[in-house]
Amino acid sequence: MARAKTANDLASIFSPPAPLPAGGAEPTAAAGQSRVRTASREGKRGKLVYLTEAAEKQLSYMGLEQDKTQQALMIEAVNLLFAHYGRDQIA
């Protein structure tokens, strides 16, 4: 007696994908939609910094010790840097 075919059998896993619709391109859910930013990020831009593992851990611990988010600590750090160079603290 032959076993019934299931969706998990090897033939279905390794078979070629189904052909695309007539348009030729895969439809995407986000096509034509813009990203929605949270209110706290409105008018702001992100910056990325690479830290050593030790520095990243220290920043995490400082956040816990000071009961502040890493975001708040980084804003404080940027404002201190601005003050050091005689600039307005606008972060």
**Cα–Cα distance measured from residue 65 to residue 75, given in angstroms and rounded to the nearest whole number:** 17
pTM: 0.58
Domain count, the chain: 1
Label residue 22 by pLDDT band (50, 70, 90): confident
Does a structural domain hold residue 78?
A: yes
For residue 14, the model assigns a pLDDT of 73
Whether 82 is covered by a domain: the verdict is yes
Q: Tell me, yes or no, whether 61 lies in a domain.
A: yes
**How does residue 89 score in pLDDT terms, banded at 50, 70 and 90?**
very high
Within a domain: residue 45? no
∠ at Cα 55 (53, 60), nearest 5°? 95
pLDDT of 19 above 70? yes
Per DSSP, the three-state class of 68 is coil
Q: Tell me if 87 is assigned to some domain.
A: yes
Distance CA 57, CA 35 (A): 31
Q: What is the pLDDT of residues 32-83, one digit of tens each?
A: 667 787 888 889 999 999 999 999 999 999 999 999 999 999 999 999 999 9
pLDDT at 85: 98
Q: Which domain holds residue 64?
A: 53-91
Which pLDDT band holds residue 15 (cuts at 50, 70, 90)? confident
